[in-house]
Amino acid sequence: RKEVEQDPGPFNVPEGATVAFNCTYSNSASQSFFWYRQDCRKEPKLLMSVYSSGNEDGRFTAQLNRASQYISLLIRDSKLSDSATYLCVSGAGSYQLTFGKGTKLSVIP
């Protein structure tokens, strides 16, 4: 079983739509959680950290459920520029990050 699992997609949504990505992790020792965004043939960039209390950054909302070992990302009012691959990530301390395979999002005009 993969340590971090997420639906690979692709998700094809129209502009303005709301889209949700889900992810599960298996390592109960994981202490930190993130969503990274990766554009085609580019490096991953941190989109947002994920906290148990939930956190919001503009159109993006992330949520963590430690009991279920489940992480989510909600994107509201999708823009063309949101088209990318979204990587679910767990971390243990300052050391390695464990990435899911990524979910590809295409926002269509």
Partner 1 sequence: DAGVTQSPTHLIKTRGQQVTLRCSPKSGHDTVSWYQQALGQGPQFIFQYYEEEERQRGNFPDRFSGHQFPNYSSELNVNALLLGDSALYLCASSQTSGGAFSYNEQFFGPGTRLTVL
The answer to whether the Cα torsion of 22, 27, 33, 38 is positive or negative is: negative
Name the residue nearer to partner 1 (CB basis): 45 or 59.
Answer: 45
Task: Based on the shown chain and the rule CB under 8 A, indicate whether residue 4 belongs to the binding site for partner 1.
Answer: yes
Please report how close the Cβ of residue 91 comes to partner 1 at its closest, in angstroms: 6
d(CA 32, CA 18): 25
d(CA 95, CA 79): 34
Task: Based on the shown chain and the rule CB under 8 A, indicate whether residue 94 belongs to the binding site for partner 1.
Answer: yes
Binders of partner 1 among 18-57, rule CB under 8 A? 31-32, 42-46
Name the residue nearer to partner 1 (CB basis): 18 or 52.
Answer: 52
Task: Based on the shown chain and the rule CB under 8 A, indicate whether residue 91 belongs to the binding site for partner 1.
Answer: yes
Residue range at the interface with partner 1 (CB under 8 A); choices 13-21, 60-68, 73-81, 97-105: 97-105
Q: 73-103 burial, b if ≥16 CB within 10 A, otherwise e?
A: bbbeebeeebbbbbbbbbbeeeeeebbbebb
Q: Site size for partner 1, by CB under 8 A?
A: 20
